Amino acid sequence: MTDRRAALAAATDQEVVALARTGHEPAYRELIRRYERPIFSLVFRMVRDRELAEDLAQETFVKALNAIESYRPEFKFSSWIFKIANNAAIDHLRRRELDTLSLDGSPHAETPEAMEATALQIGNRLESPLDAVEAKELGGAIEAAIGRLRPEYRSCILLRHVEGRAYEEIAEILNLPLGTVKTYIHRARNELRQSLAHLRE
């Protein structure tokens, strides 16, 4: 039993996926074991909400593992699952952006006073004990600076310098031209450098 587990742990992603396709449940669990931390970390840093990140990471795995028959082995499994996770996070951020805009006041309001009168009042996001824990987890200066980046820059910089993915793989994951990925990473580094400048002085 232990030998089988060791053999599974030593197998390549492609071999584990091939076994999963035959209905080998431990192979599914091995894929989850390999990618739960990187996927959850990426999504958590993207959406900055632990509960939501767990839901989105779960959606990612469910979607990927239920569609394992349609996975094409000529691509890296990591690229495939990171792509699903990133799409889930970006989709959520876009939806939230729309919701936030709608909280700013009626789109039909013509004066600032009218906008203020129709705007919904929401409390400080860092009020609940859970939010306080999350603020501590993501509380470092670098985490805060990452949180201020545009989502596209955030994905790029996290995949490159936190997950250690190659530029080509990031381009594949984000479905962007290689040049765009390099530009985004360069701009993200510039913004982080500026955000963290006070720490170096």
Partner 1 sequence: MTRSVNPHLSSDDFDALLEGAASQEAHAHLDACAFCREQVAADRAVVTRLESLSSFAPSPAFPDQVMARVAVPDPFALHSFGSAGRRMFATRRSLAAAASVAIIVVGAMAASVIWTLGNRETLAAAGSWLGGEAMSWLWIAVRGGAANLMEQPWYAAARGFLGSPTRLAILSAAITTVYLGGLFALRRLMALPAQGGAHAHA
Nearer to partner 1, 44 or 79 (CB): 44
Residue 17 CB neighbours (<10 A): 21
**Of residues 5, 33, 94, 148, which one binds partner 1 by CB under 8 A?**
33
**Position 84 contacts partner 1 (CB under 8 A):** no
Q: Evaluate whether 32 touches 9 at the Cβ level (below 8 Å).
A: no
Contacts by 194-199, CB closer than 8 A, 24 or more apart:
195/141, 195/144, 195/145, 195/148, 196/141, 196/142, 196/145, 199/141
Question: How far is C-alpha 183 from the chain's CA centre?
Answer: 19
DSSP state of 70: G
Nearer to partner 1, 87 or 115 (CB): 87
Instruction: Tell me the residue length of the chain.
Output: 201
**Position 96 contacts partner 1 (CB under 8 A):** no
Q: How far is the CB of 137 from partner 1 (least distance, A)?
A: 7
Q: How far is the CB of 93 from partner 1 (least distance, A)?
A: 18
**151: which residues sit within 8 A by CB, 6+ positions away?**
46, 89, 90, 93
Applying the rule CB under 8 A, the residues between 130 and 149 that interact with partner 1 are 137, 142-143
The one-letter code for the residue type at 130 is L
**Position 162 contacts partner 1 (CB under 8 A):** yes
**Position 200 contacts partner 1 (CB under 8 A):** yes
Piece in contact with partner 1 (CB under 8 A), picked from 75-83, 99-107, 125-133, 182-190: 182-190
Q: Evaluate whether 173 touches 158 at the Cβ level (below 8 Å).
A: no
Tell me the two tokens of residue 111. Answer: 């004066």
**Position 6 contacts partner 1 (CB under 8 A):** no
Task: State the binding string over 45-74 for partner 1 (x if CB under 8 A, else -).
Answer: --------xx--xx--xx--xx--------
Residues that bind partner 1 (CB under 8 A): 11, 15, 18-25, 28-29, 32-33, 36-38, 40-41, 44, 53-54, 57-58, 61-62, 65-66, 137, 142-143, 157, 161-162, 164, 182-183, 185-186, 189, 192-193, 196-197, 200
